[in-house]
Amino acid sequence: AILAEFGLPYVYPAAVEEAAGKIGAGITPEEIARRRDMRSSTTFTIDPRDAKDFDDALSISRLPNGNYEVGVHIADVTHYVTPDSIIDKEAQKRATSVYLVDRVVPMLPEHLSNGICSLRPNEEKLTFSCVFEMDENAKVVNHQICRTVTLSDRRFTYEEAQEIIETSKGDFCNEILTLDKLAKILRKQRYENGSVDFDREEVRFDIDENGHPVSVFFKESKDANKLIEEFMLLANRTVAAEIGIPKQRKKPKAFVFRIHDAPDTTRLQDLATIARTFGYKLKTNGTPREINRSINKMLQDVKGKGEENLLSVLAIRSMAKAIYSTDNIGHYGLGFEYYTHFTSPIRRYPDMMVHRLLERYLSGGRSVVHDKLEEQCKHSSAMEQLAANAERSSIKYKQVEYMADRLGETYDGIISGVTEWGLYVELNENKCEGLVPIRDLADDYYDFDERNYSLVGRHTKTRYRLGDEVRIQVARANIERRMLDFALLDDKGRPMSQPDKEPGAKEALRTSQSKRNKRQRYKNRKR
């Protein structure tokens, strides 16, 4: 229903599936001879435990001069998907894979995304690679962008790689520890150069065989995740600079950049004003590097403090959205002058566009038509935003479904949004978000103070501000409309007002308790 609501596809046309099914791996001696053979290099993938498509792998080896050769190997999707083919047209229309709570709607048919192109262990694969020569201090001495043939020796989950980093034991221990050391140096340099350090937990659900959410957990970014992230950033940045920086004063060729504009000035000033009330100084003038360093210092200083949620949320909201464009203005949030997306062609069409442009330009080809490329960039940006909205909607649906079993229960939370119609509260325990309607705040008339992100009582002068800690009771849950209502509790744990009961509210509460008991019995049987 959510896919239909957002106009997103949920099945593949039979003709596209049939065309994909006819494609073979085609790793012939002739094809290998046209590529750099890296099958003998130690290579592995690190992905989420439930991943089925592996579009990136890392290799590492020691060079005779003592430096490291690190390869970032990406599935060579465009070797198999030719321009204007039936598969290509469908992928271009979709522009991205869509990740909902309970399913993935892939951009490419599964025969390609999970099979032919996926860098599965112990299978020879055709790849497009950035190969770096790096010294002990992670300085890139040399690099090569080329088509390769690779062989993954091992598939790691993030948890397995993290355990090796923490214990210094396990398969390819030395290789993973070396890559982790280099990644940490790269990350430190990136932050020093003005990259913004946003690191927020993502909510995920365990669902039973009927698709019902039975528990909530958080996706946490640890060293293993950050290891992969740093080398993907390095590859994307290198590819963008390779094409973006004009050679011999020639006119730059049309290319796909991932751009991110500077923050909204007004929002940044509002953030600085609110941060000042908590004793933090934030620069709003100066170079992007200086401003971003100032934001990073504030984000670091607020960790673990009561105002952390408020200031980190406001910092994120001050930022522009990243988009695809042929007009390069750099990536403000990362602090990169040149940046693109090269590393995920299985799930993002702009990466396929970049692969094709690389092949064309590295072999001396002329620039493509700028206007047509810009149209594709705009379409990809729009589809990415649509997919993100659908993902958020599916999370909201499951949050409401999960909390519908918990009507009447009380939780601690943080005010995560303030509007003229009420307060949004995010629960500390599970990050589910609901609304305290302004009509239910019956102790006073409340006015919306937009500039200070707060509701203020006209008579009592009581102020509810973004980031304040509150205690709530789960009052109403409407799964179809994906709406969750909370009642604010006073110091004695009593609702500050008695919200209007919907018809059958008591019966709903009893049904909720019954469902909860059934869920518990199901979990006990599973154990």
E runs forming strands in 383-499: 410-419, 422-427, 433-437, 446-449, 454-457, 463-465, 469-478, 483-488
Q: Check residue 320 and give its pLDDT.
A: 87
Q: Check residue 379 and give its pLDDT.
A: 98
Backbone CA torsion sign across 506, 512, 516, 517: positive
Distance from C-alpha of 156 to C-alpha of 165, rounded to nearest angstrom: 12
CB atoms within 10 A of CB 488: 24
Domains of the chain: 2-245 (no CATH), 265-317 (no CATH), 406-526 (2.40.50.140)
Half-sphere exposure of 435 (CA within 13 A, CB side): 15
Strand partners, 202: 219
Closest CA to 320 of 375, 262, 362: 262
Report DSSP letters for 113-167, one per residue: IIIISS--BTSEEEEEEEEEEE-TT--EEEEEEEEEEEEB-EEEEHHHHHHHHHH
Assigned token pair, 499: 């919200």
Report DSSP letters for 275-310, one per residue: HHHTT-----SS-HHHHHHHHHHHHHHTTTSTTHHH
Q: Check residue 312 and give its pLDDT.
A: 80
Site of tokens 């709530």: 472
Q: Check residue 524 and give its pLDDT.
A: 56
Q: Check residue 501 and give its pLDDT.
A: 44
Distance from C-alpha of 431 to C-alpha of 392, rounded to nearest angstrom: 13
Q: In this structure, are residues 474 and 486 in contact, taking their beta carbons and an 8 Å threshold?
A: yes
Q: Check residue 146 and give its pLDDT.
A: 97
pTM of the model: 0.87
Q: How far is CA 391 from CA 2, 395, 404, in A?
A: 9, 6, 20
Q: Check residue 522 and give its pLDDT.
A: 54
Backbone CA torsion sign across 312, 314, 318, 323: positive
- pLDDT less than 50: residues of the chain: 499-510
pLDDT in tens, 296-305: 889 888 887 7
Q: Are strands 36-37 and 140-151 parallel, antiparallel or unpaired?
A: parallel
- Give Cα 276 distance to the centre of its chain: 30
DSSP tag of 369: P
Distance from C-alpha of 287 to C-alpha of 270, rounded to nearest angstrom: 19
